[in-house]
Structure 1
């Protein structure tokens, strides 16, 4: 009879193997889609007489969208047969990989929850989970750091003339010139350092030639998921709007774009926290209480299963995962339900994590 440790080890090996398969499928899907889009744009340019490379192109009637649809259905090869066949071949490969991704997701531990979250379909879900590995992430903040959503120390600046407030990483060289708060031309004043203690800002993009400390593609996917939440509505969209309204009341000196991006980033971090919680719980791995931000009110963080459409309860299983909280770490862990609703801020900001640590 296998012990719990042996069982967890076997499940971890299986999980990482399926993660590598999902990673390959997601990469193949992305490559096929990229070539298909590039070829489609070339066909569009030929039809619109913007590309003279293909002098032997056959004249074609109709608009570009109609032509591309006919190429996908096999009714036409387009103005340039070689381009048309290339476009159709990669479109078919894209559809095949999308189907393979949907099939692979059926066996993913977090899919029973993900498929009920409004705003994230199998394509975005597959792209994200292909980049992550819950067995290597001991805390939700590991997901954030890997996806480029961790914060770094910063400096806050403020203009005494218009009240504009901005924060930048400590390493940034900031000039005093800025656009007037509200976007009405350049302000006559200068921004000056107003606060240096306790300022955290979004992790900046790496400089040219510098390797990123996070997975840039995973960050892009998280952004796409966040914007999809806003378009489709649902629980995460509601959370974003609450956070944005709170920032509008508490941070009048912030630019509109900054309030939007901050609220969106908090929404993405909350979603990743919930994904981590559901994923780890499904694998019977130890849990810690996730949080959406160091200043977050813990009473606003609901359990993952309250964020699905329609809101449901976590599936039952034979054993409950172990939850270790910040103040009793090292003491006896206590069993909790898979919902793990109680969430509160940590005592320290998340640590940075290597890009390779969470790769399947």
Structure 2
């Protein structure tokens, strides 16, 4: 059975990992941008979307960096020697920073993979779900508080997957809710804001959903069946293939969260709402958006 301190520590580790990754991507973009300028190109994509030439450029830069630093105990601008690809010390320092970030990111990822094994829900459910790796498991465990989730719909709402006025929850004005906060002067104020965790929603839909599609497991089968069903419904005849795909992914993730709710609450010795079976039944028959 997990405790809140344990979960808080995992959440900090998850935040640390993604913070390093974000910085690594930004530095990588800067490196590629600098060198593309030299050859007359202005890059506009994030690093993960770089073309093959850009990726080869980064690889060459790292190899060049390692060649420069080979056998050098202390590198300073005065002692720096260009090798043709890295032509000045500022470029060398930027690649050096990138290389260290890659190492730190790899280490943080290893720590996450070990950390999730301390949680019953990982060992007894998530580890066996095709499409859920240790990193995604860490996001799920640290993102949701199963003790506060009385119903499967509680998980949907927190992840922004519930339905509002007949449409999936989003950042639209009509989906915002009134929130209370304390301003800089200590006074209580009200504002309209989103009611869900945007980071969690992005990871569940953008990463986990796509991962399910790439597997041949239970949730890929659910995705295929639902996609086939709605593709042949007159009500969705005008929707694009992309829209149908997104609907199927959203449906699949929601059904996964129903299963997560049941397994996690049960492991923690928490009562499972009677609505669980109803939610499962509704999802199976496609009655929940």
Following superposition, the deviation at residue 129 of structure 1 comes to 1.7
Alignment CA distance shift 1:51-1:98 (3 Å): farther
Q: Map 1:231-270; keep pairs closer than 5 Å.
A: 231-250=214-233, 251-256=235-240, 257-270=242-255
Which residue of 89, 93, 103 corresponds with 1:92?
Answer: 103
Q: Map 1:1-360; keep pairs closer than 5 Å.
A: 11=1, 14-49=2-37, 63-67=56-60, 70=63, 74-75=66-67, 79=86, 80-112=91-123, 113-153=125-165, 200-207=166-173, 210-223=192-205, 224-250=207-233, 251-256=235-240, 257-288=242-273, 289-290=276-277, 295-297=282-284
- Cα distance in 1 between the residues matched to 2:192 and 2:38: 37
Following superposition, the deviation at residue 221 of structure 1 comes to 0.8
What corresponds to 1:159 in structure 2? none
Unaligned runs of 5+ in 2: 41-54, 70-84, 177-190
Conserved? CA contact 1:71–1:88, under 8 Å: no
- Cα distance in 2 between the residues matched to 1:225 and 1:76: 40
- Cα distance in 1 between the residues matched to 2:62 and 2:215: 26
- Cα distance in 1 between the residues matched to 2:9 and 2:258: 24
Q: TM-score, normalised by structure 2?
A: 0.72
Following superposition, the deviation at residue 249 of structure 1 comes to 1.9
Conserved? CA contact 1:266–1:292, under 8 Å: no
Q: TM-score, normalised by structure 1?
A: 0.59
- Cα distance in 2 between the residues matched to 1:138 and 1:119: 26
- Cα distance in 1 between the residues matched to 2:30 and 2:282: 49
The CA deviation string for residues 164-210 of structure 1, in whole angstroms up to 9 with x for no partner, is xxxxxxxxxxxxxxxxxxxxxxxxxxxxxxxxxxxx22112244995
- Cα distance in 1 between the residues matched to 2:92 and 2:27: 12
Following superposition, the deviation at residue 90 of structure 1 comes to 1.6
Following superposition, the deviation at residue 274 of structure 1 comes to 1.2
Following superposition, the deviation at residue 128 of structure 1 comes to 2.2
Count of equivalent residues: 234
